[in-house]
Structure 1
Amino acid sequence: MFYSFNLEDHIPQNHLLRGIDRCLDLSELRQQLADYYSHTGRPSIDPELMIRMLIIGYSYGIRSERRLCEEVHLNLAYRWFCRLGLEDVVPEHSTFSKNRHGRFRESGVFRWVFDEVVRRCIAAGLVKGEGFAVDASLVAANASHQHSVQVGEHCDWTDPEINTRAMREYLAALDDEAAAAPVTRKISLSDPQSRWTAATGGIAYFAYSTNYLIDTAHGVILDVEATPAHRTAEVESTKVMVDRVEERFDLKPERLIADTAYGSAPMLGWMVEEKSIEPHIPVWDKTERKDGTFQRDAFQWDDEANEYRCPVGKALRSEWRPFKTPRTHVTKADTIIYRSSERDCAACPMKADCCPNMTFRKITRSIHEAARDVARYITTTPEYQRSRCERKKVEMLFAHLKSILKLDRLRLHGLSGAGDEFTLAAAVQNMRRMAKLIAQGPPINGIGAPA
């Protein structure tokens, strides 16, 4: 029996995978993995085939590797995208686990694929580099609260039942600075690097945070970072992503957009003083008084005299007498406390409206207060209102990640596993965005041209 069947003719021209295929170039993949394959023995499964299958899985929310192999076996469009003929054999699902936790993770190939997609987005003119936005979203870890221990509870960490790859990574990372964050109430025995959190306002669960840094022009994800579900780790990941984008793509934004969680004094100081980036971020300020007394903005700062002036013109200083040994007066929280004179306050007719329960008034000033003032001024400009609208593009990407790509719960364990999943998902989101914006047209700067 002979038959004539052309797989190319049965894939619609407007199919999503056609658009992604035009934007995908894995010609250098084998070179990236050359050191992780043996040159002797039985030939290995083509790594490009496995990467293409994973792209299909993340594009259509097929999280199970066993089911992914079944779908590729049955679906003509999937076979076409994977360069498989009708009679070609689909790899076994167990192959993915071995390669993911082995050569793929060691070589950083998922990060390489993501960076290559970003470069093609830049070449296609989808990245302007003028404005970036950053945010984080919680994704549930593959861990149950029933398989966990309370902090301080005795646990045999050498038990073979919990001696998993995720546990070994956790124990190896305990001495790192990233692991110095405050401990949680519970530690998962199946995924100890995940964090017990109730930040969403509902029932607490183990989770990781996926952090996106996007270009506001077309919502292209420029970088992604996995962190434990902790606000400090999320904010600090912004510095890592901004520096990495500048190093790899030579892009540094004029403005960075984020919510109030990123408006801490150290973060604003880093942006303004070190990176010269405009912080389009609300200032995180907890100095507001609720007892009806004078707010902080009622006191005028004199930069030359290094002092505040109260509403009646009296001074608030960090020191009222000279010291033999000069002092910085900087506290452990990187602040300087300015105090008024008890004599001035005792005779002041406005004391009841300023400091009724204290003998003097004090103001805490951050060493990054100049950067905070820059952020406060930016919030009064029309450009800031435009930035507020553009920040929603990050939230839309998180909604797409969870509702369309079905990444509302992780399958892999450990921070490295979360990083692999988040990186692949972000790469797929960029591919879908690029396929939507440049599909149906001629190749742009070589994008979509035959290899």
Structure 2
Amino acid sequence: MLGRRGPEQYEFFAGSLRELIPDEHVLARVDRVLDLSWMRDEVAGLYSAEAGRPSTDPEAAVRLMLAGFLLGLVHDRRLMREAAVNLAIRWFARFGLTEPLPDHSSLTRIRQRWGAARFRRIFERTVTACVAAGIAKGEVVHLDATLIRADVSWEALAQRWVATLEAENEPVDQAAREGKQTGRYKKVCTTDPDATMATTGRRQRLEPAYKQHTAVCDQAGVIVDGEATTGELNEGGELVPAIERVEAVTSTAVAVASADAGYAYAKVYGALKRRGITAVIPPKAEPIRSPVPMRRFRYDARHDRLTCPRGKTLKADRRVKHRRFFTARAKDCRRCDLARLCRSGGRVNKAVVVGDDYPALLRARRRRERWSDHDKAVYARHRWRVEGVHGEAKTRHGLARAVRRGLANIRIQVYLTAAAINLKRLAAAIAAMLYALAVALIAEVEIAPRARRANTGFASA
């Protein structure tokens, strides 16, 4: 006879929700390595001990947020709708089967009250746990940056008049190199002023965006540093601060740092050289803007002297941001056979701009021609280590677009995304260690009786 199940058949469940969750579920695996017992003391000073109604438990709130990032449910409303019917999220956040969940607005108020610094400490705790487990060291790190599209519409963009760069005593070419928009007008976002116009390539249009700066350990792909800035900020200026943060959280000196050509600036090579760090960064080719290019001028770092192709010395002149002008004497240029090709139009002498740490850039260009096999292997791993982390964060954890507005909220999103990825790495590593230990113990149990029988002279039947 064909069976029938009535629409109202209730069952009473008496047991733990953990019994209904598979062991291989991502929340079950992460729960084995997650420790948030310190959160209550961390945020206790932000709440009144006597006044007001009881708040959401700090550990439960963080567990709810982490569950959302682990499962790709980065919007609070969607997360809480899913938590109402998802037993795994309820169990992970330590809520009972019939216990009421907090409203989505509670998570917003918690983020505003705690601030981005406390969420960064959550991320740093995951890095410390990975270092303690032996899956991260911080000796070889890969650094890269990626854009996060701001949560605004095109209708929210407006043109705003700005002061000309000449009025600010800032050269136009310098501002262009630093990613600033030149001219009397620039596009700004009226609904999210912290988002700035940026693009991933010259052929791509400018979009309101933020920029995520990431440092990944070479050993197992653990994120050892993550930070968010406005979209127009140049990533080269964030490399050294990222190195300092990595060394602080891992308590290990960085030995090798790899990055793409977006970081190939003289100031970056010089800063890494002074810190004793090997830079695996391919330098950019020298731009040829003149028939007599810069490489034909010889710079003597010891005597701070620049010599032109005809052997004439250029003297150091005025200084601008991160570089200096070297100018030749007018009479030397007047007698030179290269003057017609070398001088700019309307000038009576040659002027050359030499950036700070220019010798470091020259050394990097010479070193690039004789990269060792180890350097090539490090740079090959850079492409899939850090760029793979960016792809993972955007496709699986919702970092392709900003969830909320404001730089502080974007930083919280970056920190929680990095923490979620690190927890997955840590859970997988611990599971692999336990499996290897179990296999070794089983092998020892099987071999030990045979060894004892061999020593006593008895053989198995």
Change (3 A) 1:357 1:414: closer
2:317 is matched with which residue: 316, 319, 329? 329
CA distance in 2, matches of 1:409, 1:309: 50
Aligned to 2:145: 136
Query: What is the total number of aligned residue pairs between the two structures?
Result: 400
User: 1:317 aligned to 2:313?
Assistant: yes
- Partner of residue 278, structure 2: 278
Alpha-carbon separation, structure 1, partners of 2:186 and 2:356 = 33
Residue 268 of structure 1 corresponds to which residue in structure 2? 269
**Which amino acid in 1 is paired with 2:141?**
F
Residue of structure 2 aligned with 1:441, choices 433, 438, 441: 433
2:172 aligned partner: none
Q: How does 1:42-53 map to 2 (within 5 A)?
A: 42-53=53-64
* Residue pair 1:117, 1:427 contacting (<8 A) in 2 also: yes
Considering only CA atoms, is the larger Rg found in Structure 1 or Structure 2?
2
Partner SS for 1:331: strand
C-alpha change, 1:259 and 1:36, in structure 2 (3 Å) is same
Instruction: Determine the structure 2 residue equivalent to 1:30.
Output: 40
Cα 1:395–1:340, aligned 2, differ >3 Å: closer, same or farther? farther
User: Aligned equivalents of 1:303 and 1:204: distance in 2?
Assistant: 40
C-alpha distance in 1 between matches for 2:349 and 2:268: 31
Q: How many Å separate the matches in 1 of 2:75 and 2:339?
A: 67
SS in 2 for 1:132: strand
1:391 aligns with 2:402: no
- Would the aligned equivalents of 2:333 and 2:350 in 1 still touch at CA under 8 Å? no
Query: How far 1:217 sits from its partner (Å)?
Result: 1.7
Q: 1:89: Cα distance to partner?
A: 2.0
Q: Distance in 2 between matches of 1:257 and 1:340?
A: 42
Instruction: Specify the code of the residue in structure 2 equivalent to 1:366.
Output: G
- The 1:81/1:305 distance shift into structure 2, 3 A limit, reads closer
- 1:167 maps to none
TM-score, L = length of structure 1: 0.79
> SS at 1:329's partner residue?
strand
Between the aligned partners of 1:340 and 1:37, the Cα distance in structure 2 is 69
CA distance in 1, matches of 2:179, 2:292: 36
Shift of residue 20, structure 1, vs aligned partner = 1.1
Alignment correspondent of 2:106: 95
Tell me, what secondary structure is at the counterpart of 2:146?
strand
Task: Give the conservation status (yes or no) of the 8 Å contact 1:265–1:284.
Answer: no
Q: Which amino acid counterpart does residue 314 of structure 2 have in structure 1?
A: S
Structure 1 portions without partners, runs of 5+? 154-179, 320-327, 445-451
Q: How far, CA to CA, are the matches of 2:69 and 2:125 in structure 1?
A: 17
Question: Which of 403, 406, 418 is residue 410 of structure 2 equivalent to?
Answer: 418
2-side partners of 1:372 and 1:264: how far apart? 7
User: 8 Å contact 1:138–1:209 — kept in the other structure?
Assistant: yes
Counterpart of 1:146 in 2: which secondary structure?
A: helix
Aligned counterpart for 1:76 among listed residues 77, 87, 100: 87
Give 2:224's aligned amino acid.
Answer: L
Partner of 1:124: 133
1:163 is aligned to none
The counterpart of 1:205, out of the listed 198, 203, 207, is: 207
Q: Which has the higher contact order (CA 8 A, sep 6+)?
A: 1
Rounded to whole Å, the distance in 1 between the matches of 2:280 and 2:199 is 28
**Superposed displacement of residue 143, structure 1:** 1.3
How much does 1:301 deviate? 4.7
CA contact (8 A) 1:193 1:228 kept: yes
TM-aligned CA deviation for residue 249 of structure 1:
3.2
The 5-angstrom pairing of residues 119-198 of structure 1 reads 119-152=128-161, 182=180, 185-198=186-199
Task: Report the AA paired with residue 408 of structure 2.
Answer: S
Give the whole-Å Cα distance in 2 for the aligned partners of 1:48 and 1:347: 75
DSSP-derived class of the 1:442 partner: helix
| SS at 2:219 equivalent | coil
2:65 partner amino acid: L
* Alpha-carbon separation, structure 2, partners of 1:143 and 1:408: 13
The structure with the largest helix share of the pair is 2
Partner deviation per Cα, 1:51-102 (whole Å, 9 max, x = no partner)? 1111111111112212211222212222221222222222111211111112
**Pairwise CA RMSD of aligned residues?**
3.1
Shift of 1:336: 4.3
| 3-state SS of paired residue (1:26) | coil
Check whether the contact 1:354–1:361 (CA below 8 A) recurs between aligned residues: no
Q: Which region of structure 1 is more displaced relative to structure 2, 251-260 or 27-36?
A: 251-260
Unmatched segments (≥5 aa) in structure 2 = 1-10, 163-177, 437-461
Q: Is the 8 A contact 1:280 1:378 kept in 2?
A: no
- Give yes or no for contact 1:307–1:315 (8 Å, CA) kept in 2: no
Residue type at the aligned position of 2:130:
C
Cα deviation for residue 255 of structure 1 reads 1.9
> Is 1:404–2:405 an aligned residue pair?
no
For the residues of structure 1 that align with 2:14 and 2:60, how far apart are their CA atoms? 25
- Equivalent-residue separation in structure 2 for 1:117 and 1:344 (angstroms): 62
- Name the aligned partner's letter for residue 419 of structure 2: A
Would the alpha carbon gap of residues 2 and 317 (structure 1) be closer, same or farther in structure 2, given more than 3 Å must change?
Answer: same
Using a 3 Å threshold, how does the CA distance of structure 1 residues 202 and 307 change in structure 2: closer, same or farther? Answer: closer
Q: Percent identity?
A: 27
Structure 2 distance, partners of 1:423, 1:20, is: 17
Distance 1:71 1:410 in 2: 20
Query: What's the CA shift for 1:374?
Result: 3.0
C-alpha distance in 2 between matches for 1:300 and 1:97: 58
